[in-house]
Chains A and B, each alone.
Chain A
Amino acid sequence: ETGVTQTPRHLVMGMTNKKSLKCEQHLGHNAMYWYKQSAKKPLELMFVYSLEERVENNSVPSRFSPECPNSSHLFLHLHTLQPEDSALYLCASSRLPSSSYNEQFFGPGTRLTVL
């Protein structure tokens, strides 16, 4: 495997389900990110982990719970979601930001549908 991988690629869940999204990076990076991409809206940064510690949490509802067990893996645990949470969830990784350069490498995303 190379780059950033995400599983599953597609997920349909009911509002009472619990599911998890998985992200793995094979680039030796130390920072990992979760983004939400809804139709006709800019990408929204949800969480940032740097060296396995959460460094940013942009007012995300508690029904989304991230976990970063090591620098290569990132999870997003989902619980009692709402239909408006249906979106493409993208994972990204990068080296630690230096100067103004923060090139992020993205995975293919998980298309989530909440019924």
Chain B
Amino acid sequence: AQKITQTQPGMFVQEKEAVTLDCTYDTSDQSYGLFWYKQPSSGEMIFLIYQGSYDEQNATEGRYSLNFQKARKSANLVISASQLGDSAMYFCAMSGAGSYQLTFGKGTKLSVIP
């Protein structure tokens, strides 16, 4: 079984500052993938970034980077230079090798303050 834990129900960040959203996971799979999604108030889940368990380098996509620490089983999302449009729910998720199942955490609500 897989489990995702997001311990921060809500976070505030000043505009233009960086913010880190925490995610820890638990799995018995040797090969797995970690994902971050953004969900604005409109409801749509938007894919942000992916990290494979065998990837040696941390993933980056524009202002998003994933701080992957395999030994600690953590996959924190770092958003640099926060913008007002970044205010949303953020979900960490994982998938086992060849699996259809995406296991999601409960999410973190990020609010960017002008």
Using a CB–CB cutoff of 8 Å, the interface residues on chain A facing chain B are 31, 33, 40-43, 45, 48, 50, 55-56, 88, 90, 92, 94, 97-109, 111
Contacts and interface: CB of A to CB of B under 8 A. Distances in A.
Contacts of B107: 42
Interface stretch (B65-73, B77-85, B95-103): B95-103
Interface residues of B, number: 30
Given A90-B43, A100-B32, 19 more contacts: A41-B106, A42-B103, A42-B104, A42-B106, A43-B102, A90-B45, A97-B99, A99-B33, A99-B98, A100-B29, A100-B31, A100-B53, A100-B98, A102-B99, A104-B102, A105-B47, A106-B37, A106-B45, A106-B46
Contacts of B98: 97-100
Contacts of B32: 100
Contacts of B105: 42
A48 B100 CA distance: 7
Given A41-B106, A102-B102, A97 B95 contact: yes
B102 A108 contact: no
Nearest to B101: A45
Nearest to B96: A100
Nearest to A109: B43
Majority-rule SS of A interface residues:
strand
A103 B35 contact: yes
Contact of A99 (B31, B42, B102, B106): B31
Nearest to B32: A100
Contact of A55 (B35, B42, B100): B100
B52 A45 contact: no
B104 A43 contact: yes
Contacts of A31: 100
A64 B15 CA distance: 43
B97 to A, nearest CB: 5
Nearest to B107: A42
A31 B98 CA distance: 12
A106 B31 contact: no
A104 B105 CA distance: 16
Interface in B45-66: 45-47, 50, 52-53
Contacts of A106: 37, 44-47
